[in-house]
Amino acid sequence: FRRPKGFDLAGSWRASAARFESELRSIEVRVRASARCLTWLANARIPFSVDAGDAITLRVESVEQGARQLLAFGDEIEVLAPAAMRERMAQQAGALVALYRT
């Protein structure tokens, strides 16, 4: 194997990693998060972008995976969209309430 002349291995790797990351986390989620939660997201190295107003956007692999991940932030985060993610969060939160109220 010979590398083509002018081949930028580092640049190629960055592009490949970015493509993999964007394909892996294919679901865009809009949330409202407290200032404390924004710090937690940054510390957990969960990439997000700030939208207009007080909403932020992040990406998850699936509704199930995203709900499990975001439930860890408790009431410091509210999923605004997509609706399927809000519903899954509500289902899991309800199951937790039922578990701890018995």
- In this prediction, residue 2 carries a pLDDT of 83
Range of the domain at 52: 27-100
Number of H helices, E strands in the chain: 4, 4
pTM of the model: 0.72
Per-residue pLDDT, 12: 86
Lookup result for tokens 């860890």: 72
36 belongs to a structural domain: yes
The per-residue pLDDT for 67 is: 95
88 part of a folded domain: yes
pLDDT at res. 27: 92
All residue ranges of the chain with pLDDT < 70 are: 22-23, 25
Residue 9 lies in a domain: no
Peptide bond into 82 cis (omega under 30): yes
Residue 3 lies inside a defined structural domain of this protein: no
The reply to whether 20 falls in a domain is no
Number of domains into which the chain is organized: 1
pLDDT value of position 86: 97
94 lies in some domain: yes
4 in any annotated domain: no
53 found inside a domain: yes
Give the pLDDT of residue 102: 83
Q: What is the pLDDT of residue 19?
A: 78
State in Å, rounded, how far the first CA of the chain is from the last one. 64
